[in-house]
Amino acid sequence: MITDIDKKVKKLPKEKKRIFNKIFRVSVTKGKLVPPKEMYSWIKRNFESVRFVKTQKIVKIDNIITNEGTLFNWLRSKRPIQKAKEMPDLSKEDPFCTPLKLTPADSFGRIKGKYCVTASNIAKYDGLHGLIIFKNHNPLEFNKEQVADYINTAFKWFKAANKEDKKAIYPFLMWNCLWRSGASIIHGHMQLNLTRKRHYNKIEFLRKAAKKYKGNYFNDLFDIHKALGLGLEYKGVKVIANLTPVKEKEIILIGKKMNDNLKEAIYKTVRCFIDKMNVQSFNLAVLMKPIANVKGWEDFPFIVRIVDRGDLTAKTADIGGMELYAGDNVVSSDPFKVANILRRCLK
Interface residues with Zn ion (CB under 5 A)?
A: 94, 96-97, 137, 187
Q: Which secondary-structure segment (H or E) carries 120?
A: strand 116-120
**CB closer to Zn ion, 96 vs 302:** 96
Query: DSSP 3-state assignment of 295?
Result: coil
Cα–Cα dist 333/309, whole Å: 12
Closest CB 186 distance from Zn ion, rounded Å:
7
Q: How far apart are CA 211 and CA 222, in angstroms?
A: 16
CB count within 10 Å of CB 204 equals: 14
Quote the least distance from Cβ 96 to Zn ion, whole Å: 5
Q: How far is the CB of 189 from Zn ion (least distance, A)?
A: 9
Cα–Cα separations (whole angstroms), residue 306 to 36, 115, 139, 280, 296: 41, 22, 15, 13, 26
48 vs 94, which CB is nearer to Zn ion?
94
Measure the CA–CA gap between 26 and 28, rounded to whole angstroms: 7
Nearest distance, CB of residue 291 and Zn ion, angstroms: 30
- Up-side HSE of residue 18: CA atoms within 13 Å toward CB? 5
- Closest residue to Zn ion in the complex (CB): 187
Q: How far is the CB of 308 from Zn ion (least distance, A)?
A: 23
Report whether 339 contacts 222 (CB < 8 A): no
Q: Which is nearer to Zn ion, 187 or 247 (CB)?
A: 187
Calpha distance 36→54 (Å, rounded): 11
DSSP H stretches of helix in the chain = 5-10, 14-23, 40-47, 50-54, 99-102, 144-164, 201-212, 217-227, 260-276, 321, 335-345
Which one, 94 or 275, has the nearer CB to Zn ion?
A: 94
CB of residue 176 to Zn ion, shortest distance in Å? 15
Q: How far is the CB of 126 from Zn ion (least distance, A)?
A: 25
